[in-house]
Structure formats: structure tokens, C-alpha cells
Structure 1
């Protein structure tokens, strides 16, 4: 399999996409039977992991062996992710969240280290022969939308070359505007219909320390800047405090409810952006039901593949790009460990290095790497996160040269 793999014509009924859609309908159980031992299955991530299909697949644990599933930031613990399924399924994750940490502790999952700018190349190198994802119902022209975590399913590198493409239709998913996220019914082999409510990520409470950190950071963001934010308590605090700013833009791998609130407040307008003016450029979306309603068919957002969004050269095309990221600890030489605590993988590389590099090249850009300087250990002792040297086994995410 290579980057020149031809796009397959998967049509069954040639007369109309509506007839083709009906001809491809199947049950979750029958779709799960398409997976064979030793298959390499790309299953996307977040709310786009197809729930009915994933449940049916997990029920086949005793029948299959050595199926590798590529996914990221799962929001439900499916049977195929549990220790009982070891030997039948192995999880390779594109990003480490709470459930991935559990899978790694159980020995059924592993993290494939990469920056998000390389996700397309990673998908091509693992050469998945099956693809399963959840998407919106089709529009009038027969296109479904990959929705919130669509970037965990690279089109040209993953979906198009796959031998089998399975799509689970869920009407609860928001339509995320952008041609990169559109997939035509003719590009799909099997369709499952399963409406299920989306996982909501409630607003993470803001600590007093995060509030104070946000106050310092917001002072460094000028009016008219283009910003990149992550998600979490600090990002929420920054979002609340940015409401006094004017005409901000955004180029960020992920958006959360703080972003839509800044748009409603008139803070993010993207009017001053020189690269994709008038548009929030992003790749992922995660939040509450209200947030999903806010982004549905909202044309201020332009969703693109994350390996394009996170290319430092594209980031740098934004003048006055301010990147704001978190780290877990830092040493006195400037090495930042942002994804592990010692040898324990806690998160993933994601886009931190990409945005540091992009902001470095941006005209008027700024790179902000934040952390609380101390923490309290399990015995109640106050400890520093700024260390002479990092603990043995720590993974350096951002080098001192960045």
C-alpha cells in the first residue's frame, strides 16, 4: 500500500446514491463478522468510534486473534479493550487519554509516538485493511460528515486505500464544515444505522492556580492575534479571561466550548487573520451537547485533516500566532516533559512541538509553555515541577532548543 493507491469505486447501485445507501445497509453484528484474524482496523477516535460496531466486535473476542485496532482518545471502554480480550485484539493509540492509560496498564494497548503533523504518514505506514467510523447522515448530495474526530481517519492515507470501509450513521453527530471531512456514500462499503447520544466532556473546573496562570498568559495575547489553545482547566480559564480582547483569530488542532463562547462574545472574529481570514481552522472538537449544537453547520469553522492543520509551515503562515500549551515538568536546561511522568505514559505528543515550531516561525508569533510550579504529593508534601534534572525515564516532548 502506498500514497498513490487508487480511490475505489464502492458503488453497488449505480442509479442514485439513495439506492446505493439502501443496498449497503447491514447490522452491527454482520459488519463485525467482516473482521478477520490478523486484520489491521482503523477505528478513528473520540465520539467517532462507532458504538454499535465496536460493541459487536468486542463480542467476537474468542473467535479472533491478533487484530490490531488503531484508535485515539476513546470515550467508552469497549469489550475489545479489556484484559479478557488480550490475544484477540491489540490497541495502538494515536493519543493517550484516561482509557488508553488503563489499556496500557492492562497490557492490551500501546502508544505509537508521533506528532500530529505526521498522522497521515503514520496511517499510511500501518496500512490498515479495514476502516470503521461513525458519521452524520448524508446530505442532499450523498455526502456524510466525519464529524468531531474525523481527523483520526485520514482520507487519502487510510480510508481510500482500505479493502473494506464500514460507516455507522449517527444523527446526533454535528456536521463539521470543511471538504476534508466529507465522505460520499460511493466511498463506503457497508452502512450501519445507530443513533446514540454523544459523550459529553463537561467543563473542567478551574483551580485557583490555573486562574492565576491564565491571568498572566492573557496579558501576553494582543488584540488581533491568532491563538492556539488546548483543553482542560487552564484552557477554560484562559477562554473566560480572553473575553476582553478584540478580533482574535484561531488556528488550533482542537476546539472546545470556550471557543464557541468566545465567538458568541464577539472576541473571536478572525477578521484580522491573514491566513484563512474569517475562519477558525481546526481538526478536532470535544465538549458538551450545547457545544455540538453550536458547531453544527457553523461556517466560521473550517475543519481540516490534523496533519495539515499541524504542519509548522501552515501554522507559521498566521501572523501573530500565539501558541499556548501545557507541560508536566521542566528541568533547568529547558527540557519539557509533557507526556510522561517518569516512565509512565500520561498523554501524547499531540501538537505541542508542531505549534512551538510554527509560532517560532510566525511573524510576531509567541510560544507559551505553562505549568504550575509546584504540586502536593500523596503524603501532603509540597514539591517542585521545575527540577535540576528530569526523573529517570521521563520523555522529553519539547526540547530545550524549541
Structure 2
């Protein structure tokens, strides 16, 4: 006798062409996030674009090739993004893309009230009990499944199965498209000498047995590598990258001193390469949970030494942080920065750290400025700013003291001009 769930799974299988034919003009389609964005579904959506008009795609891109952002997709496909990207430049220029500034922790609330027509997710094949696995990214996928009118799942046989809140039963999915293809990946970049120096300074701020959150990119990987002499570190982060594996294998990351989720690395997404995805497959050391847990201040407050380490595009001399936009369109987004910065403030002995190179554009522009044009994180929430020139300690400092601290970590070529602008106040 065939299990009831098996029949449901078989009956709801469709070709990718049939699945995408369910989408009609003016539909609102929301995509699962980061490297779990389902590419087979999106490639077919692009192929069918000419029969559609004013379809809005909501995305959260890191690792995505943004196949739907090519010029030929406009005006058929419109984009609303929670995270900007240089790959969306053409879409912005064609007025086919707009940015939604929102803390990652609050996207589930947005979804509950957004009346989405279609959700695209990517999962593993079901297990013997009929549960698919969200694999490398949970983020707000459960909210999509609960709130969207129709859920279309790309069932990828190469998706790993991970622990945590990662299970989705086949009965909760309306349509299945079976695929087998490599997952999107983000390879580790080569660190610059400046990034290595920043990593060394950040390491000075991280005590043994701390629980850390670190962002993405070559600078973040440099910071992780600089922690190799630490002992008993824990991970509670938005993402985990390949660089973390090395510290686990060296015995640096043990998670044994965490007050909650002891002996577990907790995140909401894996953003790395096949090495990371295979490492995470059926590995009880790693748990993935929704952003409502990973990015929640009440969770962070239970961790006694929670250290949040994020980056920025610019910092002004009061400590205001711009992590979103320089120029005519967003390059990044709010993401989880404010969630984790405030979480560090709620943690006993926690610290919020912003790390960034002192200059941009080949050393021709200072990233430390008299003022920034966009504010992502507030000066009152940031404890430290780190560049390759040192550590600026901001917590409890006056505006003038903050300016002095930040001038000291600015590139020497720009300090006199910055000091002159401060003295004009």
C-alpha cells in the first residue's frame, strides 16, 4: 500500500513549464533566499516572460546570478529586493527594481501581511516520512510556505539535509519540480593585506569562549581566520561560510560555552561552496533556524558574551554607519546588521563591532567621512569601529571623543581634511 504522502507527492509533480504556467500577470512572487534561490524555476520564468506583464519578484540575494534582472526581462518582471546588489544595477537604471529597507528579523512579519501569490522554494527530496529538507537556507521559508497562496518547490537531489527547523512536509507544498543541479555557491576570496590587518585588530576584541556573529565577504573570512589562536568560541550567526570549517577542525570553535544551543553552531543560511554543504549534510554540529530565532534580540540576550562583527560602506565621525548605498542605487541592505548589533548590546559582556577598510576606490576616497548620506545603524548602538589603522572605541564617548577615536583610524592622507571639517562645527 502506497503511503498517502507518496501519492500526494507524485500527484503534485509537474514539469517546470507546467509549474511556471501557474503564474499570471500581476502576480507577486517571493523567492527563497541567498544560495537557496531556485534557479530552474527562475530560468523557466525568464523563458516565459513574454506572456507576462507586471510580475513582481521579491528577493533576498546573496550568491544569486539574478537571471531575472537582465534588460530583456523589463517591464515584464519587476524586482523588489531586501538586499541591493551590483547585479541589479541595470534593473535600477530601467526603473524595474526598488529596495525595501527592512531588518531581516522582520521579513516574516512583512510576508504575513503582503498577500503573496506564489512562493518559490528549494528543498531536498522527501524522506521516508514525507518531509523535505530546506537544506542550506531556512531564513523566512516557513513564513513563505504558510502565507503564500501557492508554493512551488524545486526538489533538488543535490540539496543537503541539515538539522534544526528545516523540515517541510510534502502536504504543505502545492507543486513539485524535480531537478538535480549544483547549488549556488560563494567561493572564498583572497584577503588583502589591509583585510588581514583588520582581522588582527578585531581578534584583539574577541575573548576566549565568546559567541560570535560574522558577516560575509573576504573581510569577514579574514576576521574568522584571525581568530585561530582563540579557545572555545561559539557561533550564532546569520550565515556560516567555508572559513568556519577550518576553525572547527582546529578545535577553535567548540560551542561548548554557549548558554543556549550548547555544542551547536546556529545560523539561518549556509553561504559557501560544496565543501561547506557536504560538511553540513546530516551534521548535528550545525543547526539552521528561521530568522525569527537567529536574529531575535531575546535569543542574543541569553548568550553572555555575544560579539557581533559586521562591515560597512562608510562611517561618519559620530559613528553613524552606512552599510547600504553609495551612489545612485543600493549596493547592499539593512540585512541583519541592526538585529545583531542590538543583540550584542543586550548580551552581558557583548560587543558590537564594525570593521571596514579605511579607504575605497583604490585609496582615493576615505570611508570615514564627516557625514554619511545614508544611515543603516545608529551611533548609539556601535561599540567599536575597526580599520587597518586600529580600533576606535566609541561606547560611552562624547561626540568630540568619538571624532578623535575615528580620526585615529582613518587613512593618514585624509585625517587633516577630516580634522579641519570637525573644527568648523
Provide TM-score, normalisation by structure 2: 0.85
| Post-superposition offset of 1:383 | 3.0
* Contact 1:247–1:268 (CA under 8 A) maintained in structure 2: yes
Aligned to 1:244: 229
Question: Which of 136, 141, 161 is equivalent to 2:147?
Answer: 161
2: distance between equivalents of 1:53 and 1:376? Answer: 37
Picking from 189, 192, 200, the partner of 1:207 is 192
Quote the Cα distance in structure 1 between the aligned partners of 2:290 and 2:16.
Answer: 27
Q: How much does 1:152 deviate?
A: 4.2
Q: Please give the secondary structure, in 2, of the residue aligned with 1:334.
A: coil
CA distance in 2, matches of 1:79, 1:313: 37
Question: Whole-Å Cα distance in 2 between the matches of residues 375 and 69 of structure 1?
Answer: 32
Question: Is the Cα contact below 8 Å between 1:24 and 1:189 reproduced in 2?
Answer: yes
User: Counterpart of 1:61?
Assistant: 49
1:376 Cα deviation from its structure 2 partner:
4.3
1:387 and 2:369 matched: yes
- Kindly provide the CA deviation profile for residues 338-388 of structure 1, in whole angstroms up to 9, marking residues without a partner as x: 1111443110111111111111110011111112122345xxx63322112
CA change 1:293–1:233 in 2 (3 A) is same
How big is the shift at 1:98? 3.6
The answer to whether residue 250 in structure 2 is matched with residue 265 in structure 1 is yes
Q: Note if contact 2:358-2:368 (Cα within 8 Å) is conserved in structure 1.
A: yes
Question: What SS does structure 2 have at the residue aligned with 1:84?
Answer: helix
Is 1:398 matched up with 2:377? yes
Q: CA deviation at 1:78?
A: 5.5
Taking the aligned partners of 1:289 and 1:352, their CA distance within structure 2 comes to 26
Matches of 1:311 and 1:342 in 2, distance apart? 31
> Hey, what does 1:309 align to over in structure 2?
294
How many matched pairs?
Answer: 381
1:122 matched to which residue of 2? 110
Shift of 1:75: 4.0
Q: What residue number does 2:98 align with?
A: 110
Does residue 279 of structure 1 match 2:279?
A: no
- What's the secondary structure of 1:401's corresponding residue? helix
1:3 corresponds to:
none
Structure 2 CA distance for aligned equivalents of residues 243 and 77 of structure 1: 33
Are the counterparts in 1 of residues 49 and 73 from structure 2 also a CA contact under 8 Å?
A: yes
Offset at residue 399 of structure 1 (A): 1.3
Q: Which runs of structure 2 are paired with 1:141-180 in the superposition (5 Å)?
A: 141-153=129-141, 155=142, 157-179=143-165
Query: How far off is 1:232 after superposition?
Result: 1.2
Structural mapping, 1:126-145, within 5 Å: 126-145=114-133
CA offsets 1:30-52 (integer angstroms, 9 cap, x no match): 00100011111112123322222
Distance 1:105 1:308, change over 3 A: farther
Give yes or no for contact 2:82–2:101 (8 Å, CA) kept in 1: yes
Structure 2 distance, partners of 1:383, 1:263, is 37
Does the 8 Å contact 1:94/1:111 carry over to 2?
yes
C-alpha contact 2:69 2:90 (8 A) present in aligned 1: no
Instruction: Report the alpha carbon displacement of residue 160 of structure 1 after superposing the two structures with TM.
Output: 1.6
Within the candidate set 82, 85, 98, 2:73 is matched to 85
CA RMSD of aligned residues (A): 1.8
Q: Show structure 2 runs of 5+ residues with no match.
A: 382-425
Residue deviations 1:157-194, cap 9 Å, x none? Answer: 32123221111111111212112x21101111111111
Structure-1 separation of matches of 2:234 and 2:305: 10
Which residue number in structure 1 is paired with residue 204 of structure 2?
219
Q: Is the 8 A contact 2:66 2:87 kept in 1?
A: no
Deviations 1:174-227 (A, max 9, x none): 212112x21101111111111111222111110000000111111111111000
For normalisation by structure 1, the TM-score amounts to: 0.90
CA 101–316 in structure 1, closer or farther in 2 if over 3 Å, else same = farther
Q: Secondary structure at the match of 2:88?
A: helix
Any gaps of 5 or more consecutive residues in structure 1?
1-12
Contact 1:59 1:79 in 2 (8 A): no
